Structure 1
């Protein structure tokens, strides 16, 4: 395990921001059906954090995603921000992609493998395309905002 580091993140529109102390080598991919349905993705990268080491700037909205769990999200832009058991008062998971810089995170395991879509795990060898090389997208961004997004 690596030492905990304080990292920041938030939703796409900026309404909800957070800081959390996390261990970057302690991330995982969840493939369970609840996470798939909640995020609209085949898996979601998560990192565990102690609730008392997570601070919110702009309180997230919460969705009771099942009788045992709830999920923070931004009601304005829809960003999924994590997962928490209703009866587990000391820990929660935060979505890796919601961090400002998710590059330090490394997955340590898969969870919910009964719903794992193996074809989506190893995509090595598939053609790769950069967003800044898709001219239609570039033209729309530049015409609307004058630049490409960060």
Structure 2
């Protein structure tokens, strides 16, 4: 049974609701995805186009002669990938409101995998809410004056 999940861009202009049947997702490492996202890979959830409802239409970037990518022109969030002639499309896992539901089950574009970025277990980990310079910036930026 499909679960209705929501997601969208960082600024909130583009939102979607998707019917998601399972937890399976994948990592794409192809050079086109690397360049389009500025990352070494991107996590995607493959869905039927008919199972995605846009609330606030995304902009579309024709990233190659065979593919296009939904994104938000205001904040730059990458929202997915689609072949125009396919009844399926991908949504970026991180654009879901709760991406923790998904798990990677495969890699695509393996010819461009940057292996050093695959297994990062054992590297030092820092929580953003425990990194004092960041906490101080947020506190300063959101402080209200007591007049």
Query: How does the TM-score come out when normalised to structure 2?
Result: 0.94
Structure 1 unpaired stretches of 5+:
none
Give 1 or 2 for the bigger CA radius of gyration: 2
Cross-structure match for 2:72: 74
1:23 deviates by 3.1
1:24 deviates by 3.6
Query: How does the TM-score come out when normalised to structure 1?
Result: 0.92
SS of residue in 1 equivalent to 2:34: helix
Task: Tell me, yes or no, if structure 1 residue 94 matches structure 2 residue 109.
Answer: no
Task: Tell me, yes or no, if structure 1 residue 103 matches structure 2 residue 100.
Answer: yes
Aligned length: 144
Coordinate RMSD, CA, aligned: 1.3
Matches within 5 A, 1:69-148: 69-88=67-86, 90-146=87-143
1:127 deviates by 0.5
SS of residue in 2 equivalent to 1:64: strand
SS of residue in 1 equivalent to 2:101: coil
Cross-structure match for 1:27: 25
SS of residue in 2 equivalent to 1:144: helix
Take 1:116 and 1:4, find their aligned partners in 2: how far apart are those partners?
32
Take 1:36 and 1:112, find their aligned partners in 2: how far apart are those partners?
10
Take 1:113 and 1:24, find their aligned partners in 2: how far apart are those partners?
23
Deviations along 1:91-126, one digit per CA (max 9) or x if unpaired, are 100000000000010111100000001110100111
Structure 2 unpaired stretches of 5+:
none
